[in-house]
Structure 1
């Protein structure tokens, strides 16, 4: 690709008793249930930034003072309107406070063979590296100015979790660790599938020894000159013309797709 891309019977039973069972114990119960192996690292919630809350308080106080003054000088209609308007930033501040409290208990725990994710009020979700699909909103490249880290994890049975830098601290670290672990674990099986003459599917894209297929249209590897994803879309260059296919965020396990596609493009069959 052009550019370098850098003991309850079930854990759910314990989660139902989260008011009496410590969170750390619930996480390790899930890890044991999923056979995730040894614990490696923990990423806690992003520290709450109360600048927004303070700003809302200042705005609300200023508007309220003006409203009181207007009422005192007889312009009571304008004063009442301003007092009502002052309630809006107060409500916004209250909402942000609730979100901050909910995020305070959030944490990501990495293990040898997978990851657990917890957000306040939700069950602990467990994902194994060998069976998880990860979608990333934007993919960092060496020439990328800024990247917003947002990952969507999907496991067997429809278990899902969304990880974002607003909710979890050290986003660059956990994003890279998760992507690297899933890629290293699942890539060998994907390569073997291709080598056996079968097809590997990534959302609307599929790869085989002969071609890259998008929906019902196939592009033979010898006709693909470049593959690029820096625009946020997968694009291919054939016969001097760029063709945009699908957003990067829709491709499960993008880094596995990228590695396979580059290998096949550079060494096409025949």
Structure 2
């Protein structure tokens, strides 16, 4: 008689699921609709690593010469300095390996984000808050593209160091969130509600900030090019929240300008 294998003696067989299938499953679960575009990880740039190696080699060579001529203190100092670019190159190599499998997938109604070794995160345009590190106010001014996405299912950070074509995916995400949520925000304000953007609130009557109210009729200008939301009231500028703390800044900016230019009453 053959004794059946006991459960604990049966090896568990796991079949890895392809990343594309995991992304497809997340898109179905979040009901993100048709696929639009994919942004892969930034290609590993060995120029930085090679540059660090050259710098470290030159410094170490000078340090060896100092050792030969008996200048021990200078030699030790140079060797310690040479270790800095070596550590930087090592860290850059680790980042390149971690980002190799990362990808962003845009869909009709949302986006998925995958970082190597993490779960696929899904976000819908109608429920996502986007915070952007730097807001480009002029196309000629270079900015660092770094976005933080927050939704009911979690949070994800994406930046130009990890993902290629940063300007494209940043604009696509911001445009989609703004187009989806702006009409809802307009309707809420028209109904007499206050729409919150972090510490800032917008209503038909005023802009509020940490309990203080600024009627629209008193606000001359709203500016954010300094990295902070600034109001010009009675000829005086007031600095409020940093731009990168404002969820969905583009919606806030559009609503604030509309309300400032057409105050009630």
TM-score bin (small chain): 0.7 to 0.9
CA distance in 1, matches of 2:15, 2:79: 41
Gaps of 5+ in 1: 1-16
CA distance in 2, matches of 1:88, 1:177: 38
Do residues 200 (structure 1) and 191 (structure 2) align? no
Give the drift of 1:82. Answer: 4.6
2:207 corresponding residue in structure 1: 212
Alignment counterpart, residue 117 of structure 1, candidates 105, 113, 120: 113
Q: Secondary structure at the match of 1:252?
A: coil
Name whichever of 46-55 and 88-97 sits farther off. 88-97
Q: Secondary structure at the match of 1:120?
A: coil
**Does the 8 Å CA contact 1:18/1:26 hold for their aligned counterparts?**
no
CA distance in 2, matches of 1:112, 1:70: 64
2:179 corresponding residue in structure 1: 184
CA distance in 1, matches of 2:15, 2:45: 27
1:10 corresponding residue in structure 2: none
CA RMSD of aligned residues (A): 2.1
1:56 corresponding residue in structure 2: 52
1:252 corresponding residue in structure 2: 247
Do residues 29 (structure 1) and 29 (structure 2) align? no
CA distance in 2, matches of 1:139, 1:174: 14
**Does the 8 Å CA contact 1:224/1:265 hold for their aligned counterparts?**
yes
Give the drift of 1:60. Answer: 2.4
Name whichever of 82-91 and 26-35 sits farther off. 82-91
Do residues 137 (structure 1) and 129 (structure 2) align? no
Gaps of 5+ in 2: 1-12
Deviation sequence 1:67-103 (CA, Å, 0-9, x none): 4444445556765665555444323222211111111
TM-score by length of 1: 0.86
Residues 49 and 194 of structure 1: CA distance in aligned 2, closer, same or farther (over 3 Å): same
Higher relative contact order (CA 8 A, sep 6+): 1
Do residues 175 (structure 1) and 133 (structure 2) align? no
Do residues 243 (structure 1) and 238 (structure 2) align? yes
Give the drift of 1:178. Answer: 0.3
1:3 corresponding residue in structure 2: none
CA distance in 2, matches of 1:81, 1:211: 61
Residues 93 and 18 of structure 1: CA distance in aligned 2, closer, same or farther (over 3 Å): farther
CA distance in 1, matches of 2:261, 2:60: 67
2:226 corresponding residue in structure 1: 231
Equivalent residues in 2 for 1:86-105, closer than 5 Å: 86-105=82-101
